[in-house]
Structure 1
Amino acid sequence: MNHKVLNKDSLEELTNLFSSAFTDSEGENEGRLIGNLVSELSSKIDNQEIICFGTFENGSFIGSIFFTRLRFKEDIRVYMLAPVAVSTNHQGKGVGQKLIRYGLSDLKSRSVAIVTTYGDPNYYSKVGFRALSESTIAAPLTLSMPEGWLGLSLTEEPVSEIDDQPTCVKAFNDPVYW
């Protein structure tokens, strides 16, 4: 298994992977929704505001994650991890966790201080994420399930309070994802 940074050239492969994985696990509507999100994110990958990593095994594309920049008034480097997909026949084998750890290591080398995500606390706690109060770091939009807002410090310091409402990349600026 190997991991690498992906670029805009991977748009079709990324869209297909996410659409398929989310359709299989969450149904056709969710597959279409996340496929559209990934298509938009993929077309804007710049390795700064939108960073994408992929996992390959024996030449096959089996998993991917996105990290997108959250912007605050103060200059603090915070990224959000979402979405994550592993091909259905490779799920349950630790592929996603290994890919997330790889991505977090890469972000740490870029001096990123904090990573947030919005998802299943049971899954993301396996790679170090913990519940994050919106009084510590607010989500960019209103959360439908606040218990899914999670954070992880990539420094020696704990996640510190940021007294500011962040803005997210355009693709995530839709209440349907929150």
Structure 2
Amino acid sequence: MDYSTDYETHAAAIAELFRAAFTASEGAEEGALIGALACRLIAKTPTEDLRVVTAWEDGALVGGIFFTRLTYAGDPRTVFMMAPVAVATPHQGKGIGQRLIARGLDALRQEGVEIAVTYGDPAFYGRVGFEPVTEADLPAPQPLNQPQGWIAQSLTEAPLTPLRGPARCVAAFDDPALW
């Protein structure tokens, strides 16, 4: 497995991976929504606010993960949100997603990012260190349809403590349909 952080060169392939993976698991409407999100993230998010890690096998794109900056008006800590994550359907169940997550979180740690958050299945993401948080402790940038899916982890030795909001996400995520 090869990993890359060069997302600009492979933007169309990355967007298609996300569209296809989410179509297969969640239906065509969700696939179109997440495919379009991947396009917007790549095209419109400033590089200082975006990290992308992709996984390749024999020259084929098999997985990808996005990390985007969250800012909290009353808190100086550096926070990145991990979303979305996709693995090509034929390659699911092989640990590729977990390896992408681990690789991405390690890169954020090396950059000095203090907190990672995501919005997803606590059982799955709990395997890579994410824990449930409340919106009171870690405000979300949009109202959450499934608050139990709002999870986070400290990327430092410091314990995860409440963040002072309000929170602001990158423009591509500033859409209530995504939350």
2:149 aligns to what? 148
Deviation at 1:46, TM superposition (A): 4.4
Please say if residues 45 and 171 of structure 2, whose CA atoms lie closer than 8 Å, have aligned partners that are also in contact.
no
* Structure 2 CA distance for partners of 1:57 and 1:92, relative to 1, 3 Å: same
1:62 aligns with 2:92: no
1:28 aligns to what? 28
* Structure 2 CA distance for partners of 1:123 and 1:151, relative to 1, 3 Å: same
2:145 & 2:98 partners in 1: Cα distance? Answer: 25
1:137 aligns to what? 138
Deviation at 1:6, TM superposition (A): 2.4
Give a deviation string over 1:152-176, Cα, whole Å, max 9, x none.
1000111111121110000000000
Gaps of 5+ in 2: none
1:90 aligns to what? 91
Deviation at 1:25, TM superposition (A): 0.6
Please say if residues 45 and 170 of structure 2, whose CA atoms lie closer than 8 Å, have aligned partners that are also in contact.
no
1:170 & 1:152 partners in 2: Cα distance? Answer: 23
Give a deviation string over 1:21-55, Cα, whole Å, max 9, x none.
00011100000010110110111354420111100
Please say if residues 45 and 172 of structure 2, whose CA atoms lie closer than 8 Å, have aligned partners that are also in contact.
no
2:133 & 2:7 partners in 1: Cα distance? Answer: 30
1:99 & 1:46 partners in 2: Cα distance? Answer: 22
SS of structure 2 residue aligned to 1:29: helix
Aligned AA for 2:173?
F
Aligned AA for 1:36?
A
Please say if residues 4 and 54 of structure 1, whose CA atoms lie closer than 8 Å, have aligned partners that are also in contact.
yes
SS of structure 1 residue aligned to 2:127: helix
Please say if residues 7 and 45 of structure 1, whose CA atoms lie closer than 8 Å, have aligned partners that are also in contact.
no
Please say if residues 21 and 87 of structure 1, whose CA atoms lie closer than 8 Å, have aligned partners that are also in contact.
yes
- Identity fraction in percent: 43
Deviation at 1:94, TM superposition (A): 0.4
State how 1:105-120 maps to structure 2 within 5 Å: 105-120=106-121
1:4 aligns to what? 4
1:146 & 1:101 partners in 2: Cα distance? Answer: 24
Gaps of 5+ in 1: none
1:177 & 1:45 partners in 2: Cα distance? Answer: 16
Where in structure 1 do 4 or more consecutive aligned residues deviate above 4 Å?
none
Please say if residues 44 and 172 of structure 2, whose CA atoms lie closer than 8 Å, have aligned partners that are also in contact.
no
Give a deviation string over 1:109-166, Cα, whole Å, max 9, x none.
0000000000011110111100011111111110000000000100011111112111
Give the paired residue count: 178
* Structure 2 CA distance for partners of 1:5 and 1:45, relative to 1, 3 Å: farther
